[in-house]
Amino acid sequence: MRYFIILTMLLTLFSCRKKDEKLPSQQLDKFVETFKSYIIIAASDTAKFENRSAYLDSALAKNKYTRQEFDSVMKYIGKNPNEIEKFVNQFGDSLKAITKRASGKNSK
């Protein structure tokens, strides 16, 4: 449910913006991995959600990504509705893969 709320907030914040040039797929891939790391870290420590900035810093370090790079891609995605759709689809697929791996481990 928390993921749905976060994705809904992103879509609301970034919808109906002006279209720009295309984002390289490597940048989107890295952004998705970093965002996924952030969500996983934040979800694992629900009692301390006020530390979300520290969670993002941890996800950035894990993925060797700077805050400036992350913010730049976030702004780009926000300005381009097609990129929002790509992000949501790629992020959703990534979370499904995690869930599938986790359920496979639990069934063994």
User: Taking all residues of the chain, what is their mean pLDDT, rounded to a whole number?
Assistant: 75
Q: What is the pLDDT of residue 3?
A: 55
In a domain, 14, yes or no: no
Integer Cα distance of 68 and 11 in angstroms: 21
Total domains present in the chain: 1
* Segments forming the whole domain that contains residue 65: 28-97
In a domain, 60, yes or no: yes
In a domain, 8, yes or no: no
In a domain, 80, yes or no: yes
Q: What is the pLDDT of residue 11?
A: 58
In a domain, 10, yes or no: no
> In this predicted model, what pLDDT tens digit does every residue of 34-64 receive, in sequence order?
888 887 777 776 656 667 788 888 889 998 9
In a domain, 83, yes or no: yes
- Give me the residue label for tokens 């749905």: 4
Fill in the amino acid letter for 69: E
DSSP annotation of 23? P
In a domain, 43, yes or no: yes
In a domain, 85, yes or no: yes
Largest CA distance in the chain: 49
> In this predicted model, what pLDDT tens digit does every residue of 91-103 receive, in sequence order?
888 878 877 777 7
